[in-house]
Amino acid sequence: MLGITGLSPAVCVTDPVSCRLWSEPQMPGLSMNGDFIMGGIFSIHFTTSSEQNSYTRQPLQPQCSGRELRIARAMEFAIQEINNRTDLLPGITLGYQIHDSCSAVPMAVKVAFQFANGMEPFFNDTDSCSKSAVPALVGDSSSTSSISVATTLGLFGIPQVSHYATCACLSDKRQYPAFFRTVPSDHHQAAALAKLVKYFGWTWIGAVRSDTDYGNYGMASFLKAAQEEGICVEYSESYYRTQPRSKLERVANVIRRSTARVIVAFVNSGDMRFLLEELARQPPPPMQWIGSEAWIIEPEFLRFNMCAGAIGFGVPRSVIPGLREFLLDLSPAQALKSPLLTEFWESSFSCSLKGSSEGARECDGSEDIRALQNPYTDTSQLRITIMSYKATYAIAHAIHGVICNDTQCDKSAKFTPWQV
């Protein structure tokens, strides 16, 4: 608990300045000013490393690695489109503040409190101690982070529209009254996976899951549906990537020694990567993998021979006209305006923008972003990306309904986030 006390909304004192934030605000990775600011929380990086807390000073910012930038920039692109339209929020300029939660709950909660407080470090005694910086936000990417954010923002009535949090538990409006999403609940996927297994006549299976809200709730729904379909489960194991390696080895050995040749994996992509790498050290007999949407649609898993023939359900592929041109319309000067884009440019081309990275050669302008072949430039399968795009439009339409009439919008309109 001591490690997160600095995340409290505000502390009130008796001098003329009645409220003061306890911690410095975290600067957004991508931002633009506007008449109304839309928030965004994305797992742009998906692994963190941080030092052990000493509890004698505030914890340092975790170091993040891995990257999924395209989904966050789809929100940018949607806002650019909206600002150029005359039928949606005419005369209004939407801005945005997009933050990276790094797939870490503490970082997501800190950003959530920041959205609830605003960026100002002090509040006058005439102000409310909680003054929302955004009318609504898109995110977060994972179910566990979204649960924490929804618990926090629900107290302030700030709507949250997630593009990838699928846990069935988030459908409980009593606990999460301000949570919405553009992706289906896992309740439907679990029932469909059970019917898929039954369709092929596989009645003796193994089950593995991520030891997270996503995996535990999803697998619980699947096991209930499987029982109703007459499917027997030899084992049900869980693993999370931050757990000791001995736990991963134990799960892998259970799979190797089992008699079930069909495995249902309700696992997120990061955990699945660790599990398959461990299994590849001593490959088990050929198996039929049944995958949840978090990993079954990822091309990177094709490098594992044991995944050949894996089946499951995924979000349908979509097309967003103009997105690829938007993503490729990036220059070194533009990249320098954002720490996330700077990091992307430097890691993609192994160079430094104006000495921002020590020991690397300086970018000389010959870098060609169109020649890159990576997840950022690959727009052939816009599955989760379009869910971010749709979430942004959903919020824009909601704001339009509050501040606009048939012909015009009032940019000076005052409203609470709950009205959105």
Query: pLDDT tens, 291-338?
Result: 999 999 988 898 999 999 999 999 999 999 999 999 999 999 999 999
Segment 397-406 long-range contacts (CB within 8 Å, at least 24 positions apart): 397/88, 398/136, 398/159, 399/36, 399/89, 399/92, 399/94, 399/135, 399/136, 400/88, 400/89, 403/89, 403/92, 404/89, 404/90, 404/92
Amino acid at 413: A
Grouping H, G, I as helix, E, B as strand and the rest as coil, residue 92 is coil
Q: Is the pTM of this model over 0.85?
A: yes
- Tracing tokens 């990275």 back to the chain, one arrives at 357
Residue bearing the bigger pLDDT, 21 or 413: 413
Q: Is the dihedral of CA 136, 139, 145, 146 positive or negative?
A: positive
| Residue 231, pLDDT score | 98
- Tracing tokens 């757990």 back to the chain, one arrives at 243
- Tokens standing for residue 206: 């193994």
Residue bearing the bigger pLDDT, 198 or 49: 198
Q: Which of 52-56, 185-189, 331-335 has the lowest mean pLDDT?
A: 52-56
| Residue 361, pLDDT score | 85
Q: Supply the DSSP string of 201-228, one letter for each residue.
A: T--EEEEEEESSHHHHHHHHHHHHHHHH
Q: How confident is the model at residue 272 (pLDDT cuts 50, 70, 90)?
A: very high
- For residue 221, how far is the Cα from the chain centroid? 22
Residue bearing the bigger pLDDT, 15 or 325: 325
- Tracing tokens 């072949």 back to the chain, one arrives at 373
Mean pLDDT of 221-242: 96
Rounded Cα distance between 109 and 131, Å, is 16
Mean pLDDT of 70-95: 97
| Residue 278, pLDDT score | 97
- Tokens standing for residue 218: 């999803």
Question: Other C-beta atoms within 10 Å of 308: how many?
Answer: 11
Rounded Cα distance between 79 and 51, Å, is 37
**pLDDT tens profile 150-174:** 999 999 999 999 999 999 999 999 9
pLDDT at residue 55 tops 80:
no
On the question of a cis peptide bond just before residue 211, with omega within 30 degrees of 0, the verdict is no
- For residue 212, how far is the Cα from the chain centroid? 14
